Structure formats: C-alpha cells, structure tokens
Amino acid sequence: GEDVEQSLFLSVREGDSSVINCTYTDSSSTYLYWYKQEPGAGLQLLTYIFSNMDMKQDQRLTVLLNKKDKHLSLRIADTQTGDSAIYFCAKGDYGQNFVFGPGTRLSVLP
Amino acid sequence: KAGVTQTPRYLIKTRGQQVTLSCSPISGHRSVSWYQQTPGQGLQFLFEYFSETQRNKGNFPGRFSGRQFSNSRSEMNVSTLELGDSALYLCASSFRGGSLGNEQFFGPGTRLTVL
C-alpha cells in the first residue's frame, strides 16, 4: 500500500517546540515533503528531504528521517501563534503521484 | 511573479449538474495537478497535466476529467454531480511535474458545494 499516517491533532504552548510525526508504508519513496495549510488557503511547501538524508534544517524547521522505521518528523522551534495550521506529510516517487497524509492540526496556545 | 490562481473561489451546484473549474499556473510552469480535499478522505490526487497531455491519473470515476491548454492553463470538469463531490478542489503548478523533488505551488482552491 501507499499509506501515509499522521496523528490528527497537536497542541503546544507558544515558545515551545512542536514535533509533528509521520509514518509511511511504501519503502520505494524517495522524496518526503512537509506542507502547511492555513485556513482558507492552499498548501504551502515548507521543506522536503531526499530519502538518502537523515536530517535537514531550515531556520526554525528541522526534518528528521528514520528510514528503517519509515518515520519522518518535523520539528518547529520556538512555535508561534502564526504556526497554527494543518501540516501535511507527503511522499513522492519516480513516475508516481504525490500521496498525502491526513494532516496534523497544530494549535498554538498563548 | 503571480501565484497560482483558481476561479471561481466558491461554487454552489445541484445534483446532476456539471461544473468546470479553472486554474492558471505560475508563469513558466508547464505542469498542473488537481487534488480533491474533503474532511473524510483528506487530500486525494485527481490528475496531472504536462504540456497539454495527461501524465498521471488518480483513482476517480470518469465523471472527473480535465484538460490543459497551450498556455498551460488547465480546467477540470465534473459531470453529473453527486453530493459526495462537495469538496475543496486544489490546483498545483510546477515547472517539471512529477513527485520527484518537485516543488509544487498550490492555488487557494475552489470550494464546491453540491446540494
């Protein structure tokens, strides 16, 4: 199968770190993506990682990939209220279309 | 550079009708993909067009169709609308298409309500 799984909800306090997790079942995936969707808007690509990488960092965002466990995580440092959104994990492979997870709704509490 | 635009933003139709949605990609992008987003099924891939050719197709019935014009603008059509077609339809454009290290840019979506 080509499932991508995520927990549906996450609440954190402003200033704390957020960690959003994703697991996937198809081992042929070569690219893994994180998208952000704010209310009433389309998806915005945050970052992506190639499957031969373990980690990628971009300002407040850190992506960790555990290929053995097929586990991907997105860490947001110093989470702000503007980070409140739905975060989608997605995977892509040669000749295949994107497969998205169900999305994790991140709520940032003041 | 202008982003991906979708028209209309909101649409209300009744069962049995048909609908056409439009997507204008970012200038220079040749790939346009369409997605259906619903609370129950999440984000599902409909199809991808590249240089006027359908390159990939998701698992949707034949009532869902699309096309791409020479200027890369794309339309999708849904015939014989059903209540379950109510959804947010998202369009995404990219330069080279596919899902391999591909940066897709999404439009704001068309919210379709079928009564």
Per-residue pLDDT of chain B (115 residues; tens, 9 = 90+): 679 999 999 999 999 999 999 999 999 999 999 999 998 888 999 999 999 999 989 999 999 999 999 999 999 999 999 999 999 999 999 988 888 778 899 999 999 999 9
Do A61 and A44 contact (CB within 8 A), yes or no?
no
- The per-residue pLDDT for range A2-24, each reduced to its tens digit, is 689 999 999 999 999 999 999 98
Choose among A48, A88, A93: nearest CA to B100: A93
Residue B22 has which token pair?
A: 């439009």
pLDDT at position B98: 80
Sort strands B31-38 and B42-50 into parallel, antiparallel or unpaired.
antiparallel
Which A residues in the span 52-81 are in contact with B, Cβ-Cβ below 8 Å? none
Residue B79 has which token pair?
A: 């015939």
User: For residue A100, how far is the Cα from the chain centroid?
Assistant: 10
Read out DSSP for A92-106? E-TT---EE---EEE
pLDDT at position A2: 61
Which are the contacts of B48, defined by CB distance < 8 A and separation ≥ 6? Answer: A97, B31, B32, B33, B34, B54, B55, B56, B57, B97, B98
Answer whether B106 sits within 8 Å of A100, measured CB to CB.
Answer: no
Report yes or no: A16 at the B interface, CB cutoff 8 Å.
Answer: no
